[in-house]
Structure 1
Amino acid sequence: MNTQITYRQIGNEFSAAVIDLILPIQQEEFKVNVDLAAQPDLQAIEQYYQQSGGNFWGAFQGEQLVGTIALIAYQAGGGAIRKMFVRKEFRGKEWGIGQALLETLMTYAAQQRIRHLYLGTVSVLQAAMRFYEKNGFEQIPAETLPPAFPRMPADNIFYHRAL
């Protein structure tokens, strides 16, 4: 892990920086058909993530936000991973940002007695899919998701990991 990177919980005061990080990755880099209107959580981080017992974390190089990950605690014992994004020039094992963010989330989830993590992604994000699989997530059919799982319309691939 690169020592130039710091990790911390973030809230609504970082909404603009989160939007500036995530939207270009979704829309420009990966051509995912999603806009800000479909993601109201980005402008209300504390309400969507923290009030339910989840959280939102940022990876920073100095004051620049270079990565994010979020957890929705949607039911007792169940959590949904959301908003896992790392700025392109900060990806890869040499930085270790994605791994550190995921480990931060999983440690927090275990402390909150969340025993099952689920996530949705889109099939175009092949590197993300390999990353989750390397970290013990197993791909599952959409119909096996818990009924309370908060699905995103663009997601077409789903994963689960027991903690």
Structure 2
Amino acid sequence: MSNFTIRPIHSDDDAAMAAIIRSVMPEFGAIGSGFAIADPEVDWMQRAYAQPRHAYFVLEQDGRVLGGAGIAPLTGGDASICELRKMYFLPAARGIGAGTAMMARCLAAAREAGFRQCYLETLNGMDAAMRLYERSGFQRIAGPLGATGHGGCNVFYARTL
């Protein structure tokens, strides 16, 4: 496992995370409306996740942000459910245990915020991500929950916290 740090996002991380999200999503065909790439929140992540019951973390290695992930209340859903949001890593951060560590940090934050369930949406073809979700206790569910606005996603997971 490589040496990396997971820490809360700072406002000076916003540009790095926006660039990461906008470079990673096209790798998996996630372009256009209905995906985070078109979400204006991508440009001001720290402010968006500074709200109550929100948290966003970045993965840093040697002073460089390589990815991030966060949790927030599920839009249009039950108040006891959070959504795992915007989990993206540059290729340099893949396969080094960063996803597992980030998932643990996000789920701990969700529990601390009082959520009882975590939900996420993804795409067919994001096979490594789906393996991580399943190893982390998520189970596929038949369809979407809430009103996330992620119209391009076609695979849905949830897990009890």
Percentage of pairs with the same residue: 28
Match of residue 82 from structure 1: 85
Q: Aligned AA for 1:30?
A: F
Name the CA distance, whole Å, in 2 between partners of 1:162 and 1:23: 30
Match of residue 63 from structure 2: 63
CA RMSD for the aligned pairs? 1.9
Matches within 5 A, 1:13-162: 13-27=12-26, 29-34=27-32, 38-74=38-74, 76-92=79-95, 95-142=96-143, 145=145, 147=146, 149-162=147-160
Q: Aligned AA for 1:13?
A: D
Provide TM-score, normalisation by structure 2.
0.87
> Which moved further from structure 2: 149-158 or 35-44?
35-44
Secondary structure of the 1:18 match is: helix
Change (3 A) 1:105 1:44: same
Can you give the 5+ residue segments of structure 2 that lack an aligned partner in the other structure?
none
Name the CA distance, whole Å, in 2 between partners of 1:12 and 1:41: 13
Number of matched pairs? 156
Provide TM-score, normalisation by structure 1.
0.86
Secondary structure of the 1:51 match is: coil
Q: Aligned AA for 2:150?
A: M
Name the CA distance, whole Å, in 2 between partners of 1:150 and 1:48: 15
